Structure 1
Amino acid sequence: MSSNRGIAYMEPGVVEVQDIDYPTFELQDGPGVNPANVGRKLPHAAILKVVTTNICGSDQHMVRGRTTAPPNLILGHEITGEVVETGPDVEFIKIGDIVSVPFNISCGRCRNCKERKTGICLNVNPDRPGSAYGYVDMGGWVGGQAEYALVPYADWNLLRFPDKDQAMEKILDLTMLSDIFPTGYHGAVSAGVGVGSTVYIAGAGPVGLAAAASAQLLGAAAVIVGDLNQDRLAQARSFGCETVDVSLGDPRDQIEQILGVPEVDCGVDAVGFEARGHGAGSGTEAPATVLNSLMGITAAGGALGIPGLYVTGDPGGVDEAAQKGSLSLDLGTGWAKSLSFTTGQCPVMKYNRELMMAILHDRVQIAKAVNATPISLDEAPEAYREFDSGVARKYVIDPNGMLSSDRK
């Protein structure tokens, strides 16, 4: 049996590289594993040698101590890998395939999966609909920031790249298919972005930048990205976005300077529950700020896509309500303007094949848009610290040295 190493959350602000168990075709007990999932047989699974696995802002929420994640939880839900072993029930996925792993785990058998709602599969998490690798309250499936990872329901979940050599040439783009590219795209699609749209995206982190690139791919006439971080705003401008510095105040005035009117057709929240105030309040956490701002600046009859994460348990919330995920929303404005809202996990499988084709045929350069930066597994703890400081990078972990010749 091979050895394995992975990135574990230890306590707020601390992650470390640990020796961990090599995957088996049975879900073992461990940190965060739902007792009802312990011992679950997985003959339909595949074991992957991880080619790339990315640090996500959602991971950072846990590492900051803003969730109820337990110590020693193995992190990582953005996984691309090479199949090295398959269970006896796997029929179509073959050893040697290079594959993308949707971050949401789904069975392919339940009603929601059959309706392409794979973000809320009914059969993989005993606690609630929906699951993910290496994430708190998501059933306890082991994370993929590791040398080897296991994927259940492999024939259903895995997206196989058609040519191995081409995949490795474009791996920094293709690694984004596991989460942030489909998630950003979902935010743009659910906000109604189309040819000629004007769109405001709150947040210039990797998901916000992916949403911006997606809006361009969908034909938006003007893509405006707002943030407090100057480096991230500069990254948005690097591929043709307009930007708004929300430390100067509500986005409305700056949007009017760009468009001539103080509103947009479509709004995307790529910030989530750790949002900060605008203007004079930009140094203070105010979790409803982004949603309320978007309701104010989105045109009547428009829509909000909300890929930004909101949680039901936040120990660091600003007040008792926020600690339970209850926010003071200006819902009256949203109702009066007939705005629609789409929240929740992106159903990655709804989009990932089409986005793969866009990458393979050079229709989008998503790695460049999010500033993909390869690192080794041992460099990951420092990368978490840098990411938390707000650097304009998307860290791509190379746990098995398969990208070493492409290192920056």
Structure 2
Amino acid sequence: MTAVSDMSVHRETFNRLKSKFPGSRQDWVQDLRRDNLDRFESMGYPTTRLEAWKKLNLRPITQGSFELATSSGNPSKSLPANLVRHTVCFVDGHFSPDLSDIANLPQGIRVRTLSTALEQSDTDSLPSFFGQAATDEKHAFLALNGALFTDGAIVEIDDAVAEPVSLRFIQTDGADPRVTYTRVLVRVAPQAQVDLIEEFVGEGKNLTNHVTEVVVGENAGLRHLRFQDESQSGFHLGVLGYVLERNARLESFAVSLGAALSRVDGHVSLQGEGAEANLQGLYTLRGDQVCDHHTLLHHRVPHTHSQQLYKGILAHSARAIFNGQVTIDKDAQKTTADQQNPNLLLSDQALVNTNPQLEIYADDVQCRHGATVGQMDEDSLFYLRSRGIPKDQAVRLLMQAFAAEVVEAIPNESVRDQISERVRERFFSSV
């Protein structure tokens, strides 16, 4: 097995499997893959010399050995149950019909696997799905995903969808570490509404490289939960792009529990007047975990609004990086934007690097941002202990209260309860 630090391994993988990749008979797909691979090779892996990556050591990934998963393993029976009834499942980067409910989805939503859609004769509309929302041409891992994706989903919503739908991505624990490249393309039609979940679970020292592109149409609404609950020894790279049209509404929830090292880049383009984006995130880290969230909210037109709240709880020698940027173009007058990043440290060895940024070119806006990094509130802890609550239990109660602002905002009660329980099991009960 070749280390991924050898740049030639990706070209070799592409040449070996290009006839088996989805869309291999479509010229535009092959061109898309080649262009992305060429761009990746011209950039190479990100290093700490790049501003956007200077706080993150990627050597556990770039010097690791990961074989592209060309088939699905057997998921562990100990994995948590599906969050919702309507679930479309992918195992090791490939669609699993046995674990999916793709034929009985609620009215108003259509889900096709990317592999199936790209093999159909009529693919004229598909090129416009790629690269419309995830547009960073300098992002090496986005380019690598565009070259080597093996499967994923095309999700089209044309009405109000009554029940939440989940896309579940499972990594299995094989003999050797593996890497998966998956991609999800979402279109929410004008006036449509949907609750969409992406869940990442699994075992082993595997690497996930996942891209999600979303376009929310005029007067449409999307509530999107991204739940990362993979192995504590795994690795996760994610790119998430949203485009919001006129009066579109986005509520995005990101909960990160798993992975030894994870990096997620989220970009929201508010390009229609009246568009609103509300981003909330929670990362709970322990041991030597490292988590890096980069967000960019780009206000391009007047009368757009954004709120952002990312909260972190870190124990032991865990490390978090948060880089949140709000950009307001010259013509984006009457914009409001708020960005906050509070963090709670449970150990003197835990570390947070937080960098909220405002880049404003308009003069009639209302904006604020802030970040805090602090220890457990001693007064609150003393109050609970004075009521006879043991110290360990009091600490957990305060942690749960800190996280509740994000968790309690998750809209579906059943999903919210399951997320809360898994946060408690994976984190609160172990620190």
Structure possessing the higher radius of gyration over alpha carbons: 2
TM-score interval, normalised by the smaller of the two chains: under 0.3
Structure with the largest fraction of helix: 1
After TM superposition, the score normalised by the length of structure 1 is 0.23
RCO higher in structure (CA 8 A, sep ≥6) = 1
Structure with the largest fraction of strand: 2
